[in-house]
Amino acid sequence: MDARLNYFASPTAGKILKHFMSAGKVLKESPLPAATQELVALRVSQINSCAVCVDMHTKEAAAAGETPVRLNLVAAWREATVFTEAERAALELAEQGTRIADAAGGVTDEVWTSAAKHYDEEQLTALVVLISFMNTANRLNVITQQPAGSYEVGQFH
């Protein structure tokens, strides 16, 4: 499959993506735990059927030491016993933040309170921005049918 657009060949996309990727770097350096970042990025990408991002975040998480069991269970995290309460709160916030149109009310107070119980304000800020960032990245890739499978760890760092 070929992508509909080659973002790397477009001067406009190049300018925009330079800033977009800089935001991603700031998120990586945030106080939100790295494992949580990868789990959330993976779950948002699964929901949005973004194969490129699922490929990337599965490989990045594995390279960072995440276990295959946890990676395989992200899609069914509610029934899995391998995630901490904090990770579960982040995954729920990610799901409701991603499914805004489906949820008819956005993120519930209960889900927000649960996340706030586990993360301080800086971490919550990073979590909310990460969820929004991933939704944007997913849409850029899904709309243009970017092919998946060839990502190499660290490719965009």
Nearest to 36 by CA among 59, 69, 70: 70
Give me the mean pLDDT over the 70-75 stretch. 97
Distance between CA atoms of residues 71 and 38, nearest Å: 9
**SS3 state of residue 66:** coil
Residue 103's pLDDT is what? 67
Residue type for position 105: G
Q: Name every residue whose Cβ is closer than 8 Å to that of residue 3 and which is 6 or more positions away in sequence.
A: 144, 145, 146, 147
Q: How far apart are CA 146 and CA 21, in angstroms?
A: 17
Tokens of 37: 């970042």
Other CB atoms within 10 A of residue 79 CB:
6
How many percent of the chain have pLDDT more than 70? 98
Q: Give residue 47's identity as a one-letter amino acid code.
A: I
Domains, the chain, in order of start with CATH, read: 32-143 (1.20.1290.10)
pLDDT digits (tens, 9 = 90+) for 17-38: 999 999 999 999 999 999 999 9
> Rounded to an integer, what distance in angstroms lies between the CA atom of residue 60 and that of residue 23?
18
Q: What is the mean pLDDT of the chain?
A: 94
Is this prediction's pTM over 0.85? yes
Helix, strand, or coil (residue 73) = helix
| pLDDT tens track for 84-122 | 999 999 999 999 999 998 866 789 999 999 999 999 999
Give me the pLDDT at residue 52, please.
Answer: 95
Which residue type sits at 4?
Answer: R
- Cβ atoms of 130 and 41 within 8 Å: the answer is yes
Q: Is the pLDDT of residue 1 over 80?
A: no
Owner of token pair 């939704």: 135
